[in-house]
Structures are given as structure tokens and as C-alpha cells.
Amino acid sequence: MTPSTAAPNAGPGGTAARAFSVRARKTFAASAPEVFRAWTESRRRQHWLIGVSLSIRESKAPGFVRLTCDEDNSDIAVSIAPRGDAASALVIDHTNLADAQIAAERRHCWKEMLQQLKNYLERAA
């Protein structure tokens, strides 16, 4: 996984807008449709994404999910790309974060949660 944090962009009047972001990547020994279902089916999501409330705003099987984090109204875009028949690569862009501290916390959380997702998917295979 390769997380990164972007610097804030200035909003109107030169003030910082909620423009901090985090990017995370992970490769799984699971097909893109399996990874997609792990994000879009709440029954599956509860096995690996514990204690986080998300609302799905848009999804396009098997490669894209856009969500809102209910805790802070931040945006999450999940892109899933197949890597052969039984593997896939995932990229998360978590944007609209309020400040650098929250971005650092989210970066740490995504590292842990994507490892939990990997364990869940690869145990089920």
C-alpha cells in the first residue's frame, strides 16, 4: 500500500478549504467482482470495515465505488482494476478531509482496513 497526503488548496479569500486527501493502494488475490462486492454489500463489508459508517453514492460494477464517510462527510472514491482472472488492484482516494491531522489518521486507518480486506478476501478464496 502506498498512502500519500496532498497539501491543502486555498479556498476563496486564500483560506484553506477542506482539501486534504489520502491515497492508498493494495493488490489482492481476488477478482475485481469479489473486491467490488466486498465494498458494496453491507453483509460483506461488516467483516472487514469495522466501526466505519459509509454511504454509497455511486457504483459501477466491477470497477468503481464512490462513498461518503458519514462521520465527517468526506468523499471516498474506490477504483478496482483486474489483474488477470484471480487478482485485482485497488486505489482509494479519500478527499475533502478537514486538516493534515485527520489526513494522517485516515492514512493509518486505510492501511489497517485494507489489510483486513486482504485477509477477508484471501481467506474466503
Summarised one tens digit per residue, pLDDT across range 46-94 is: 999 999 999 999 999 999 999 999 999 999 999 999 999 899 999 999 9
* Residue 3 binned pLDDT confidence (cut-offs 50, 70, 90): very low
Say what percent of the chain tops pLDDT 90. 81
> Cell triple for residue 54?
459509509
The CA distance from 74 to 64, in Å, is: 17
Q: How many angstroms separate the Cα of 13 from the Cα of each of 16, 44, 54? A: 9, 44, 32
Domain range 4-124, CATH architecture: 2-Layer Sandwich (3.30)
Tell me what pLDDT residue 125 has.
64
Tell me what pLDDT residue 95 has.
98
- 11 in helix, strand or coil? coil
Tell me what pLDDT residue 19 has.
86
